[in-house]
Amino acid sequence: MDKELQRFIATEILPLYEGFDAAHQRDHATKVMDESLVLAANYDVNIDMVYTIAAYHDLGLCEGREGHHLASGRIMRNDERLLRWFTPEQIEVMAQAVEDHRASAQHAPRSIYGRIVAEADRNIDIDVIITRTLQYGLAHYPELDAKGHVNRALQHLNEKYSRNGYLKLWIPGSRNEHELHQLWNLIDDEVAIRQLVEDKFTQIMSRFK
């Protein structure tokens, strides 16, 4: 991997994540970058492109969550500094991959690069998922009471992660696929999943006391 590119991303790109919400800080970007490299090892791809796509994938959050994937693609296309390492054609492929990473996308990613970053961005860890869902609700729906936050989180989990949820995985046999099937079973148990969400909400709120 190009060392100068790594330094550029570390000093100029990753610090931008520090202004985003708790679920999309620098640690999220670096996790997606690391996981992308793991997945890329199974494919004939340009590692520098994989690394850069992962680094840029959520930069569009500077314009808000809705449509952030499209904003991220636009940011990548307009960043002329990338021409130091990539051709315009490569940058277009990377921008498309960034646009295609969002979990709610109704179409498959247009390239293997999009499938890699989309898969790397999926964190099928129930504790992390519940925590981030509640944190988002607390930040954006302060008018809700405790029951409202729990119900909102349960609705989101069902809409996104249930057997009929909109989350799609694009790399068969991945670790995420196995974890998602376990999560389906948990969401099927309405009593168990509600208890987990209530316990996590209590844990989060205790930090503010």
User: What pLDDT digit, counting tens, does each position of 57-114 carry?
Assistant: 999 988 877 778 899 999 999 999 999 999 999 999 999 999 998 766 678 899 999 9
Q: CA-CA distances (angstroms) from residue 164 to 113, 115, 131, 159, 187?
A: 26, 21, 22, 7, 11
**pTM for the full model?**
0.75
Whether the pLDDT of residue 36 is over 90: the answer is yes
Number of structural domains in the chain: 2
Long-range contacts of the stretch 1-5 (C-beta < 8 A, 24+): 1/47, 1/48, 1/51, 2/48, 2/85, 4/84, 4/85, 5/48, 5/51, 5/52, 5/85
Same domain, 109 and 156: no
> Region 147-172: what's the mean pLDDT?
93
Whether 14 has a pLDDT exceeding 90, the answer reads yes
In this prediction, residue 209 has a pLDDT band, given cuts at 50, 70 and 90, of low
Are residues 57 and 101 in contact, defined by beta-carbon separation less than 8 angstroms?
Answer: yes
Final residue belonging to a domain, choices 121, 148, 167:
121
Same domain, 112 and 16: yes
What is the residue range of 188's domain? 126-206
Q: Is residue 192 scored above 90 in pLDDT? A: yes
Mean pLDDT (whole number) for 40-45: 94
d(C-alpha 112, C-alpha 126), whole Å: 27
Q: Specify whether 106 is located in the same domain as 148.
A: no
Mean pLDDT of the chain: 92
State the pLDDT at residue 180: 92
Residues 22 and 115 in one domain: yes
